[in-house]
Chains A and B, each alone.
Chain A
Amino acid sequence: MSKFKKKKGGDLPAINTASLPDIVFMLLFFFMVATVMRDNSTMVENTLPVADQIEKLKKDRTMFIYAGKPSSQYSNLGTEGRIQINDSFVSLDAIQSAILEYKATLNEAFKDKIVVALKVDEKTNAGIVSDIKQKLREANALKIMYITGKKKEE
């Protein structure tokens, strides 16, 4: 029965670690891709209010509107709340065209389901928010989401 005899001694062969870098690189690429570098810098102060009754946002059909007082870099613009869409300050009247523009880029299936996410600084006056909402109604973008932070458990 020598067929089943071990050929070598009891030494364990060393584990081949040559593929370890590949695995690690794979993970690395995953995280590199998943990392979101902030794509548009905010030009307004943006400390979000907190809430605990919150839902997740569906990103694929969302347009962001920022509002708040201009950040220190733009302090020459005063301290009144301003609206920012994409990378520039806009006036109230520009919201409607911005919505239409965004709608045009959307997939056909999502066109009527557009959600406007409002990222508004918690210290802003609520008046500007109601102005924005009025413009959104005129633009027929009726779903909005007030983006908030998560409230810390007490």
Chain B
Amino acid sequence: MAKRAAPEVNAGSMADIAFLLLIFFLVTTTIEKDKGILRSLPPIEDDTEPPIIKERNLFTILLNREDRLLVEDEEMEIKDLKQAAIDFLDNGGGVNAEGESCDYCKGKRLNTEQHGDRASSDHPDKAIITLKHDRETTYGRYIEVQNELVAAYNFLRERESQRIFNRSFASMLEEKAKNQFNKDEKLNDDIKRIKDMYPLKLSEAEPDKN
């Protein structure tokens, strides 16, 4: 018998099969991006005397085992925490370590001389938020509090960046992240300037062991 040419395989349905697989993978793919709140821990130093900080420059937050908040000796709902933190940071009642007063603060400028007990922080540079939680506080609540505090800082930084550079702080950070290989000195300086206006000073006390 004469050799017959093999009939050509119809490849028309190949595309369909491939599409089917493609759609399967499209649906199941979650390009995972972990996000979260970035923090730096303080390094361990031995036997350093804790610096003396005036009470008015401290914003004390206690978080108890029932997940309730005590802020500056008063009970508070979590939704009010951001505003309270903003008021505290933005107070500008005094001067910073260099003796400059906070000319960009828009707070109430409560100071000890005129307002006594209601006095709040001297300068954002000196303002420290301290957070203490119980061992049995739930982690979810703890993160909520952290989130509110970061939100307070971001709000103030955002405001200053709008005022000075007329653009949002978030967009500056985004641009920096995008161009991480060709460093833009001016942008970095701008970001640093804003960050220095409201430096993030958060101290976390260790929970009591009991």
Interface residues of A (CB under 8 A from B): 17-18, 20-21, 24-25, 27-28, 31-32, 34-36, 49-57, 59, 62, 115, 117, 120-127, 129-130, 133-134, 136-138, 140, 142-148, 150
Contact = CB atoms under 8 A, between A and B. Distances in A.
Nearest to A147: B36
Closest 4 CB pairs of A and B: A127-B135, A122-B140, A31-B25, A51-B147
- Interface centre among B15, B44, B133, B206, by most chain A C-beta atoms within 10 angstroms, is B15
B100 interface: no
B188 to A, nearest CB: 17
A49 B138 CA distance: 10
Interface of B: 11-12, 14-15, 18-19, 21-22, 25-26, 28-44, 63, 133-144, 146-147, 150-151, 154, 177, 204, 206-207
A146 B41 contact: no
Given A21-B14, A123-B138, A130-B206, A150 B35 contact: yes
B210 to A, nearest CB: 11
Task: Please report whether the interface of chain B is mostly helix, strand, loop or mixed according to DSSP.
Answer: mixed
A35 B25 contact: yes
Nearest to B151: A53
Contacts of B147: 51-53, 148
A129 to B, nearest CB: 6
A116 B124 CA distance: 29
A146 B37 contact: yes
Given A55-B38, A134-B206, A122 B138 contact: yes
Nearest to A81: B139
Given A36-B32, A130-B207, A122 B143 contact: yes
Contacts of B31: 34, 36
B35 to A, nearest CB: 4
Nearest to B140: A122
A125 B135 contact: yes
A148 B22 contact: no
Contact of B33 (A51, A56, A137): A56
A49 B41 contact: no
A57 B39 CA distance: 12
Contacts of A50: 143
Contact of B38 (A25, A34, A133, A145): A145
Given A21-B15, A142-B43, A53 B37 contact: yes
B21 A28 contact: yes
